Structure 1
Amino acid sequence: MTPLWLRILPYIAVVLLVAGALFGAYHHGVTVTNATWQSAWNERNTRDATAKAANETVEREKEQARQLSINKAIQDGQQIIDQATADAAAARASADSLRGASDALARRLAASQASGNSCTAAARQAATRAAMVLADVLKRADERAGYLAADADQSRGRGVTCERAYDGLGK
């Protein structure tokens, strides 16, 4: 009689061969599936990289357009400020002639007071002083208004520049 292990040895060999074949099929399936997924991931990565490059290009163009808009707003604003400065200088020159006329009027009033006669001298002196004070107040008010107008014009120019630069960012 043959030992038992020799009788079941062919069955064990068949089971091992079937298990090896199944493992080989499984391993082949896993390899094919992994290769398929890897290929899909590589395609996705390529598409993502292409989309990223295209998106960066578009965003850089937008950024450059915004910067050009801001630069244009700054140039326009500087022109407005320069024009306001020139206008303020012209206004000061014009105001200087007005102040000169005011001073001349005050001098004439002072001279006419000195050449006055009779009983109305006190009234004339009071009127002359009032006119001189009024001329001085008008001169100072005009000078201050000129400074305020120059500051307001420059502030407006800066505000317009800032507004245009901000509007340029929204594009």
Structure 2
Amino acid sequence: MNPWVGVAAGLVLLASHWAAYEHGRSVELAQAGQQSAKRDSGDRLAEVIGERSARQEEHRSADAQQEARLKAHEERTIADAGAADSDAAGQRLRSDASQLAATVSCPGTDTAAVARGETATRAAMVLSDLLARADARAGELAKAYDQARIAGDLCEASYNALIK
């Protein structure tokens, strides 16, 4: 027998084992790659779902805050209209009180009656002025209270929109 035939057969045997080893290794790498790809796609899917839910929560929160701002604006408009009506009513009241104070004086011939009339006129003027000041201050306090209440309600609604 030819010695080269034995060497060739050994080389063929060695090459076939080497090819089988490489094939098994490539199959293992491919399976590991598929498992890694599945795991990566699962991780990516979870990440996408998490991002989507975070965006939805941000939109919900922003919508709730916008709704709270619109409600506060509406309440401010109503409060301003009420304050304007109150100011007009207060002005009418002050005007009526001034007219009453002016008509209290009643000229007459009796000097005692005239003196009492002047005293009543001064008292009516003082009371009219006191009423005007009290009414103006009450209007200022009512406006400040309305603004503070509306701001507090807006703050509370915005906070609740963020934490839900």
TM-score normalised per structure 1: 0.73
Match of 2:5 in 1: none
Report the CA distance between 1:38 and its aligned residue. 4.9
After superposition, where does 1:42-81 map in structure 2 within 5 Å?
Answer: 42-81=37-76
Q: Give the number of the structure with larger relative contact order, counting CA–CA contacts within 8 Å between residues 6 or more apart.
A: 1
| Equivalent AA in structure 2 for residue 73 of structure 1 | A
Structure 1 residues 11-49: Cα deviation after superposition (integer angstroms, max 9, x where no partner): xxxxxxxxxx9xxx8x99988776665544433222111
Letter of the 2:98 partner, please give it. D
For 1:150, the aligned partner's letter is K
- 5 Å-filtered alignment, 1:114-125, equals 114-115=107-108, 117-125=110-118
Would you say 1:161 and 2:154 are equivalent positions?
yes
Q: 1:128: Cα distance to partner?
A: 2.6
State the identity as a percent. Answer: 33
**CA RMSD in angstroms, aligned pairs only:** 2.8
The aligned residue for residue 142 of structure 1 is 135
Aligned equivalent of 1:101: 96
Gapped runs of 5+ residues in structure 1?
Answer: 1-20
Residues 69 and 165 of structure 1 are in contact (CA less than 8 Å); yes or no, is this contact kept in structure 2? yes
User: TM-score, normalising length from structure 2?
Assistant: 0.75
The secondary structure found in structure 1 opposite 2:141 is helix
Tell me how many residue pairs correspond in the alignment: 150
Closer/same/farther in 2, CA of residues 35 and 116 from structure 1, 3 Å limit: farther
In structure 2, runs of 5+ residues without a counterpart are 1-16
Q: Deviations over 1:82-110 (max 9, x none)?
A: 0000000001111111011011011112x
Aligned-partner Cα distance in 1 for 2:109–2:27: 123
Residue 68 of structure 2 contacts residue 158 of structure 2 at CA under 8 Å; is this kept in 1?
yes
